[in-house]
Each structure stands twice: as structure tokens, then as C-alpha cells.
Amino acid sequence: GDSVTQMEGPVTLSEEAFLTINCTYTATGYPSLFWYVQYPGEGLQLLLKATKADDKGSNKGFEATYRKETTSFHLEKGSVQVSDSAVYFCAISGGSYIPTFGRGTSLIVHP
Amino acid sequence: GAVVSQHPSRVICKSGTSVKIECRSLDFQATTMFWYRQFPKQSLMLMATSNEGSKATYEQGVEKDKFLINHASLTLSTLTVTSAHPEDSSFYICSARDFTSGGKGETQYFGPGTRLLVL
């Protein structure tokens, strides 16, 4: 079945540092790829998505590119802020449109 | 983006009582909603798929008599935890697929979650 592997956290950075959270997947066909963010005590919010190979999803300074050749969808941001501290989930969605989530990566940004 | 609400956001109940959690799609119709459970510092576990006008589809290992799901309208699904026990304490999150924004429904929009504590 489909699976998602995310780098284990927590990832701890200083404000304005560069962020990369790795995500790789295994799936049949051509899934859609997503990054969701969960702030403490809240539900998940869609951060960005890409639905086909080489698409780049972007939002709030975050971006990720759908790399079919490496089955990856790494999340990046050039300059993180304290307010970006949250848990980030990578997810894929195939024909059934029921997403498979990674385990989540906690990001902690210090001032 | 589409908005999904949940009510209540937090509930504390005594062991043996039943608790109902509502999930509403506020600005779109959702023929399908999903219920997840999340344990501390873990990912989401899909419990069931709620289909408007028909029975819910439960994932393996989820007790359908324990977690009753009703999808009474295109904007409302409810999850009732019957005879709740402390081990049912968790964070419950619903989501819905939006087919009305020009997409294929591949994106799920999540509610803010309901934290259940059973004493």
C-alpha cells in the first residue's frame, strides 16, 4: 500500500534560518502530494499541494516540488519565524482520495 | 479555502456516558467526511469514512458500535462515542472533501479537532 516517510523531529532552528523537512513516498500511480501544518491544540491546515510531477506548491513562504523520479516532496522555507513552530505532516492521496499521512515532524523555532 | 468546523472543541465526561461530536462543512457540501483519531505526538489514524445518506465505512479495528457515525445532511456528520471510557480520551478530528472549488476532491479540509477527556 501507499506509505509516507518523513524525517524525524524535532527540528530546532533559530529565527531566519533555512528549513528543509524531507518527505519521500511509495505509491502506485500518480498520487497528489500535500503538506499540512498543525499548530498546538488545533486541527490540520492545508499548507500547500501539488497534483502532478514537477509541480511546485507554495504558500506563506513555504514551497515543495513534486519529484516523481525521486518520489519526494521536501518542504522548504528560506527564513523561518517563531510563528512557524508547529507539526508538519506530509501526505499523499491516490485514486481513493483518502490521504496517507507521515508521522509528522515537529518544528521549533527559537528567537 | 473550504472551512470545516467541529463542536465542541473540548469535552470532559464521566466514564460510561456518551458524547456526540459534530462536524460541519460551512461553505461547501460534503458527500463524504472522514473521522480521525490522534494520539499525543503521533499521526492521524483514520477511523471511518462517513457517507451522506448511507452507512459509514469503518477501518479495521474500529468498533462501529462504539463509535457511531451519522451523516444526516450534506453539511453535517456526527460521531458519538458511546459508553465512553478513559481509553477513549483522545483528539478527534474530522475532515471533508471539497468537490465544488474546481478540483477533483483530492484535497481534504480539516476541522479544528475535539479534545475528549473521559474521567
Q: What is the 3-state secondary structure (H, E, C) of chain A?
A: CCEEEECCCCEEEECCCCEEECEEEECCCCCEEEEEEECCCCCEEEEEEECCCCCEEEECCEEEECECCCCECCEEECCCCHHHCEEEEEEEECCCCCCEECCCEEEEEEC
Instruction: Please tell me the predicted confidence (pLDDT) of residue A72.
Output: 97
Specify burial of residue B11 (Cβ count, 10 A radius: 0-12, 13-18, 19+): middle
Rounded Cα distance between B84 and B86, Å, is 7
User: What is the rounded distance in angstroms from the CA atom of residue A85 to the CA atom of residue A108?
Assistant: 5
Q: Report yes or no: B5 at the A interface, CB cutoff 8 Å.
A: no
Beta bridge partners of B68: B80
Q: Is the pLDDT of residue B101 over 60?
A: no
User: Any CB–CB contact under 8 A between B12 and chain A?
Assistant: no
Q: Test B107 with A42 for CB contact under 8 angstroms.
A: no
Q: Which one, of B88, B107, B91, lies nearest residue B25 by Cα?
A: B107
What pLDDT digit, counting tens, does each position of A49-68 carry?
A: 999 999 999 999 999 999 99
Per-residue pLDDT of A14-28, as tens digits, reads: 999 999 999 999 998
Residue B46 to residue A98, Cβ atoms within 8 A: yes
Q: Which residues in chain A have their CB less than 8 angstroms from residue B90's CB?
A: none
Model confidence at B99, pLDDT cuts 50, 70, 90, reads low
